[in-house]
Amino acid sequence: MSKPLFAFAALTGAAALAATAGSASAHHSYAMFDAQVTLTVPGTVVSWDWTNPHSFLQVISETGQHWSLEAASPSLLSRNGVTRNTFKPGDKVTVKLHPRRDKTEGGSLLSATLTDGRTVLFEAARPPRPAEAPAQ
Amino acid sequence: MRLLWSWASGALAALTLAGLAQAAPAAHPNFDGVWLVDRRYNVQAGTAPMDGSPVPFLEWTKALKEASVKSEAAGLPWSANNQRCLVAGTLRAFKGNFPWEMVHTDKALILLFEEDGRVNPIPFRDHHKKHLKPTWYGDPIARWDGDTVVVDTIGFNEKTPFVSSTWHTSALHTVMRYRLINDGKNLEVRTTIEDPGAYSKPWETMVVFNRMPPGYKLRDYRCIENNQDLPPTGLFGPE
């Protein structure tokens, strides 16, 4: 069998989980969200829309704002333990998000913490952009 | 008689072994499996030459790329095909978070993409079709070169950028070389991109995939189901 061009670290399922943990970048550019800003919003779940290409968590904040928070597709989320039943209308949650640049009440969902203490993670740390092509 | 039989059976055995030795094809690696882009290549794949040099754009492709980079920096990214639920083309479809599966038969490699359940069959054939009409995936043909499968493709339409705003013409010719590395744990695909209508010289890019564990299956993904991200910008900039 051919030798690899360069040594890989152990390429375990950890890489696969990181890749499927829910980045929005599969469907469209992430530039529509402000990745330099993270908002924390406590509120109540209106609905958990389990759809392609993105699932949406709809949350009413304590100040009455309706946030539409985008997550990955069901095919990707389900590999990370998220299901169509993870949230129900009426659940109290505290969400973290990168807001939309156009200032509408929407964003990329990073995490949601429920009152039982569980935190559901949606956005693995995005990989650093390589500064140059990998070494040969 | 016994001596004659002994001689004949020995001769027959020798001939049979010789025939089998000649007829037996060289063993080739098998690429069956589900693959997912290694995260280190998720951004780079298909977008940059592997030798670190800049993409050899012609003036018009460079201008498009620069305009799209500027628009993205301003928070108005140009849409890639998959944002519009269109066919992304093989290079783009390899990138991203969705796994894909290779079904390897002696007649063809069949690429199955989780993203919209798309299929790209690549027959083992020594010639392209005559009278090609441009299509989304072009006319790919495969052959062996040692342990490497070489896929030669022409006949692309002009609707599939590699990633947003890296365009090509219908003169595009790609040569993709698939080989297993790291004891079969990874699949390396090197692609030579040649298009005198879009680039000043051929350039080569590379992407590496991780083999997914046994039992890892493709799941259901249908972009058109609830696409709320149709952008205000078109494929070539603001509409």
ipTM of the complex: 0.76
Question: Per CATH, the architecture of A42-121 is what?
Answer: Beta Barrel (2.40)
Under 8 Å between Cβ of B140 and B111: no
Under 8 Å between Cβ of A19 and B97: yes
Q: Which residue has the higher pLDDT, B232 or B84?
A: B84
Q: Does A135 touch chain B (CB under 8 A)?
A: no
Under 8 Å between Cβ of B167 and B61: yes
Query: What is the tens place of the pLDDT at every residue in A24-43?
Result: 345 777 778 898 999 999 99
Residue B7: the pLDDT is 54
Contacts of A23 in chain B (CB under 8 A): 97
Are residues A3 and B213, on separate chains, in Cβ contact within 8 Å? no
Query: What is the tens place of the pLDDT at every residue in B153-207?
Result: 999 998 877 666 678 899 999 999 999 999 999 999 999 999 999 999 999 988 8
Residue B42: the pLDDT is 60
Mean of pLDDT values over B89-116: 88
Distance from CA of A90 to the nearest CA of B (A): 23
Under 8 Å between Cβ of B95 and B163: yes
Q: Please report, for residues A17, A124, A126, B18, B34, the alpha-carbon distance to residue A81 in angstroms, rounded to integers and kept in the order given.
A: 10, 13, 19, 57, 20
A131 has a pLDDT exceeding 70: no
Number of helical H runs and strand E runs in chain A: 2, 6
Show the domains of chain B with their CATH numbers. Answer: 33-212 (2.40.128.20)
Residue B82: the pLDDT is 77
Q: Nearest chain A residue to B214 by CA: give it.
A: A13
Write the residue in B43, B79, B98 that is nearest to A129 by C-beta: B43
Q: Which residue has the higher pLDDT, B1 or A12?
A: B1
A2 has a pLDDT exceeding 50: no
Query: What is the tens place of the pLDDT at every residue in A63-121?
Result: 999 999 999 999 989 988 899 999 999 999 999 999 998 889 999 999 999 999 999 99
Interface of B with A in 8-47 (CB under 8 A): 29, 36-44
State the burial class of residue B225 (Cβ atoms within 10 Å of its Cβ: 0-12, 13-18, 19+). middle
Closest C-alpha among B177, B155, B178, B158 to residue B168: B158
Q: Does B202 touch chain A (CB under 8 A)?
A: no
Are residues B80 and A28, on separate chains, in Cβ contact within 8 Å? yes
Are residues A31 and B76, on separate chains, in Cβ contact within 8 Å? yes
Contacts of A52 in chain B (CB under 8 A): 220-226
Percent above pLDDT 90 for chain B: 50
How far is C-alpha B6 from the geometric centre of its chain's CA atoms? 55
Under 8 Å between Cβ of A74 and A88: no
How many A×B Cβ pairs under 8 Å? 138
B222 has a pLDDT exceeding 70: yes
Residue A63: the pLDDT is 95
Query: What is the tens place of the pLDDT at every residue in B29-83?
Result: 999 999 998 877 665 555 788 888 899 999 999 998 888 888 888 877 777 777 8
Q: Nearest chain B residue to A22 by CA: give it.
A: B97
Closest C-alpha among B159, B139, B190 to residue B82: B159
Reading the block at residue A48, the tokens are: 């958990």
- Domain residue ranges in chain A: 42-121
Please report how many Cα atoms fall inside a 13 Å half-sphere around the Cα of residue B142, on the Cβ side.
21
Q: Does A80 touch chain B (CB under 8 A)?
A: no
A130 band by pLDDT with thresholds 50, 70 and 90: very low
Write the residue in B181, B225, B231 that is nearest to A5 by C-beta: B181
Interface of A with B in 1-40 (CB under 8 A): 1-5, 8, 11, 13, 15-16, 18-20, 23, 25-29, 31-32, 34
Q: Does A83 touch chain B (CB under 8 A)?
A: no
Sign of the CA dihedral with B182 first, then B150, B81, and B226 last: negative
Residue B46: the pLDDT is 56
Residue B60: the pLDDT is 92
Mean of pLDDT values over B107-127: 94
